[in-house]
């Protein structure tokens, strides 16, 4: 039996794809051979190649996240490119005067993700700095609303509506006075908890609270300090070191969420960080 020459094959072709690319010609040749045999019928034609399972790529990554990314790519290859992106929104106030303050930890979390994953926040869409990219094979969007905190929903509502993003794939990251400093809490839904940025987002999502949120603890103000003043205070050097550790955990949580699902990410964030902090 003559194997036809390889024509117009993709540059990167798996073994399974190479086998499948020869199935039509091989099947035709086999059918011709069977017709030459007396008493042969098409129902007796062997077709084991047609039921070959699709192989998964071997993965010897430099990190667990890289391995999960390769597995995600294999799993999502048959989705026809119609997957909706994950939208990660960090809340804060624009302008240099607010940089490095407690109220802007949501912005900083987005910056950490953007730098680690090589996703520049290079466009302005719907009153937000936006970056688009992928983690593994999953499309993601990063956004930092430029409306000032209390009007964040004006931007988020338009992004969600225009890109038709399911609410369970909209993750809002923001500062929380009610969590100990540098502690993270990942929840699938909830209220605004008195946070004006979250209040605005809920209002612009038609009062829906059914979207995940990553709360970043900034602690309570000392003494009788006004919380409005406290959230605009910068961090000490020691606080910044603790916060950097929290951002690293937040980054890993995002990778787990996109590649393995929200539940695994929530388990990672909500159950192990206290022991890790003690072991530092």
Neighbours of 175 (CB within 10 A): 25
Q: Is 248 a catalytic residue?
A: no
d(CA 185, CA 174): 11
Instruction: Name the token pair of 247.
Output: 């951002």
d(CA 103, CA 8): 55
Q: Which of 103, 195, 204, 248 is catalytic?
A: 103
Neighbours of 149 (CB within 10 A): 22
- Expressed in percent and rounded to 5, the helix, strand and coil fractions of the chain are 45, 15, 40
Among the listed residues 179, 169, 195, 186, the one whose alpha carbon sits nearest the alpha carbon of residue 249: 186
237 Cβ neighbours under 8 A, 6+ residues apart: none
Known catalytic residues are: 103
């Amino acid at each position: 039996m003559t194997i036809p020459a390889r024509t117009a094959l993709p540059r990167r072709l798996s073994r399974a794809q190479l086998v499948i690319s020869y199935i039509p010609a091989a099947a035709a040749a086999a059918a011709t051979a069977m017709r030459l045999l007396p008493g042969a019928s098409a129902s007796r034609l062997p077709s084991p190649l047609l039921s070959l399972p699709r192989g998964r790529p071997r993965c010897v990554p430099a990190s667990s996240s890289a391995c999960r990314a390769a597995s995600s790519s294999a799993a999502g290859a048959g989705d026809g490119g119609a997957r909706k992106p994950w939208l990660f929104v960090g809340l804060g106030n624009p302008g240099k005067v607010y940089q490095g303050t407690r109220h802007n930890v949501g912005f900083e979390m987005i910056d950490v993700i953007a730098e680690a994953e090589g996703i520049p926040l290079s466009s302005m869409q719907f009153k937000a700095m936006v970056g688009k990219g992928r983690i593994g094979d999953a499309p993601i969007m990063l956004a930092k609303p430029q409306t000032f905190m209390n009007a964040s929903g004006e931007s988020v509502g338009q992004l969600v509506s225009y890109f038709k993003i399911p609410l369970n794939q909209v993750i809002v990251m923001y500062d929380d006075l009610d969590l100990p400093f540098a502690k993270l809490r990942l929840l699938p839904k909830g209220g605004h908890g008195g946070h004006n940025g979250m209040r605005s987002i809920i209002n612009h999502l038609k009062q829906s609270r059914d979207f995940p949120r990553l709360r970043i603890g900034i602690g309570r103000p000392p003494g009788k300090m006004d919380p409005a003043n406290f959230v605009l205070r910068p961090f000490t050097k020691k606080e910044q070191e603790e916060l950097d550790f929290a951002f690293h955990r937040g980054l890993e949580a995002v990778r787990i969420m996109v590649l393995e699902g929200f539940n695994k990410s929530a388990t990672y964030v909500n159950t192990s960080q206290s022991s890790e902090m003690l072991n530092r």
